[in-house]
Chain A
Amino acid sequence: MISPGDRLSPPLPRRRFVEVLLGGGFLATVVAFVYPVLQYLIPPKEADLGSDSVVAGRTGELKPNSGKIFRFGNRPGILIRTSSGEYRAMSAICTHLSCTVQYRDDMQHVWCACHNGHYDLNGKNIAGPPPRPLELFEAQVRGDEIFVRRRRET
């Protein structure tokens, strides 16, 4: 009787073969179960908005020199009416640490409350910590609706 602890001498190649087969099979099983789990842990990309264009507001909703936040897909955007009555739209996510920005009528530009970041009406970062400008969108008035869409890359 051979107990499992004993080594056969001389070692048989057949035994080695079985070991490799068993070990390989076991390893393959582990991979087959670990791979789906790892994939499962990665959250799926949230569905972005269907089109690249949304209605951000209506004319008459905004007084000159004011702004409002609107939904651009699942992200906030900011729609601004300048003192001269022009509409501007840009991403409302501060490029510093992702707080949502707001329009300051006293400064007449965009401001982030979290770390005192400032942007001008073209989204350019002009003061404070923000490293990059805000993404500027196209705002168009059609009828009494203000459409906002992403700029096409040229």
Chain B
Amino acid sequence: MSRLRNVRNWLDERFGWEDLIAPLRKKTVPLHRLSYWYFLGGITLFLFVVQVLTGILLLLYYRPGANEAFESVQYIMTQVRFGWLIRSIHSWSANLMIFTAFAHMFSVLFLKAYRKPRELTWVSGVILLFLVMGFGFSGYLLPWNTLAFFATKVGTEITGQVPIIGKPLMIFLRGGEDVTGATLTRFFGFHVAVLPGLATALILVHLLLVQRLGISVPPKLEVEWTANPSAKREMKFFPNFMLREMMAWYVALGVLGLLAAVFPWNLGVKADPFVSAPAGIKPEWYFLFMFQTLKLIPPKLWFIDGEVLGVLAFGAIALLWLLLPFLESNNTSRTKRWITGAAVFALAYMAGMTIYGHFAQ
């Protein structure tokens, strides 16, 4: 132990280590019956780290390119020792991360953690959620199998529906008029360079904001605690809550390992542009609610294409969602409720449409 202390002292002398740690030592986590929701952000971060590490490992053998991508993934899964496991963990962790990111977002909504002074934390978080979906979309193409090929065709086609900027944007995404090897190269670049860079920067901003602003307490409890300070209960973040958080990560790792080992991710059939789309083809579950909505909109509404309307509506909703904290006015009881209502509606809509989409023909 004393040797460890020596190292710490050495670093402290040169680096001001203690000053850097000090905010963490001061930081506390409020304790109440909803405290468990505080773990979700940390688990999402943990899964992101898993993604970075397994992603780097996959890069050792993966080759982008229409002629090699599928074969290289096949090689990883059949020839490389534990390659199937690494790929499986990457895929499962991606799905779990999207799930926990959504769960984190809704918990923030219901606990009212987006309110002043945490508006920017919300904004950075929502952008991170969009990035995470971008990771999912771009990564899905990389094995170059039939499902990935058509998912990318449909996804980029939907982008193309946006008036004026849609078409150039689609060509930018595809690297040409069609989904080809050029698209694969681009998506590979987005997936392993552009998005990780953006996401890492935003995660740092997000965490810095959380550090500066402290952890929010649900409004009702806050009123109670201000009225009666002796009722206030909290835990030191470092090391007490940190240890709990690591336990949560340990559980997450266990779940991840179990899912990856018991349900290894499939590779499917190599993409061929001259083969028909298979029956019952569907996007990944986190895009299913949008997919199903677009299917339900009639082809023409008044004089606008249904598809265009749907895409514009989703874009508008995404923008409103991003700016949600600024839409809530300060102190009237009427506006206090509508955001909760909107959140409940959004959650119900997404869950309902996802289930409907899952069972629909």
Known: A29-B250, A29-B253. A39 touches B240 (CB 8 A): no
Instruction: Tell me whether A8 is interfacial, beta carbon within 8 Å.
Output: no
Which residues, 24 to 50 on A, are CB-close (under 8 Å) to B?
26, 29, 32-33, 36-37, 39-44
Bitwise, B71-87 to A at CB < 8 A (1) or not (0) is 00000000111110110
Instruction: Tell me whether A4 is interfacial, beta carbon within 8 Å.
Output: yes
Known: A4-B240, A29-B250, A41-B60. A36 touches B79 (CB 8 A): no
- Chain B residue with Cβ nearest A35: B82
Cα A44 to Cα B79 in complex, Å, equals 6
B115 CB to nearest A CB, Å: 33
Number of A-B residue pairs having CB atoms within 8 Å of each other in the complex: 33
B240 with A40: CB separation less than 8 A? no
Known: A4-B240, A29-B250. A40 touches B80 (CB 8 A): yes
Residues of chain B within 8 A (CB-CB) of A26 are 250
Known: A4-B240, A29-B250. A37 touches B80 (CB 8 A): no
Cα A42 to Cα B86 in complex, Å, equals 14
| Contact residues of A: prevailing secondary structure | helix
Known: A29-B250, A33-B257. A44 touches B240 (CB 8 A): no
Known: A4-B240, A41-B60. A36 touches B82 (CB 8 A): yes
Instruction: Tell me whether B31 is interfacial, beta carbon within 8 Å.
Output: no
Query: Size class of B's contact patch?
Result: 10 to 19
A37 with B240: CB separation less than 8 A? no
Instruction: Tell me whether B208 is interfacial, beta carbon within 8 Å.
Output: no
Q: Which of B80, B250, B253 has the most CB of A within 10 A?
A: B80
Residues of chain B within 8 A (CB-CB) of A43 are 61, 80
Instruction: Tell me whether B57 is interfacial, beta carbon within 8 Å.
Output: yes
B4 CB to nearest A CB, Å: 16
B309 CB to nearest A CB, Å: 48
A37 with B250: CB separation less than 8 A? no
A48 CB to nearest B CB, Å: 13
B256 CB to nearest A CB, Å: 10
Residues of chain A within 8 A (CB-CB) of B257 are 32-33
- Chain B residue with Cβ nearest A39: B81
- Chain A residue with Cβ nearest B61: A43
A145 CB to nearest B CB, Å: 30
Cα A41 to Cα B80 in complex, Å, equals 9
Residues of chain B within 8 A (CB-CB) of A41 are 57, 60
Partner of A40, one of B81, B239, B250, B253: B81
B82 with A37: CB separation less than 8 A? yes
A37 with B57: CB separation less than 8 A? yes
A40 with B57: CB separation less than 8 A? yes
B241 CB to nearest A CB, Å: 12
B86 with A44: CB separation less than 8 A? no
Residues of chain B within 8 A (CB-CB) of A32 are 257
Which residues, 235 to 292 on B, are CB-close (under 8 Å) to A?
239-240, 250, 253, 257
Residues of chain A within 8 A (CB-CB) of B79 are 44
Given pairs A33-B257, A36-B81, 6 additional interface contacts (CB within 8 A): A4-B239, A29-B253, A32-B257, A36-B82, A37-B82, A42-B81
| Chain A residues near B (Cβ < 8 Å) | 4, 26, 29, 32-33, 36-37, 39-44
| Chain B residues near A (Cβ < 8 Å) | 57, 60-61, 79-83, 85-86, 239-240, 250, 253, 257
9 contacts between A and B (CB under 8 A): A29-B253, A32-B257, A36-B81, A36-B82, A36-B85, A40-B57, A40-B86, A41-B57, A44-B80
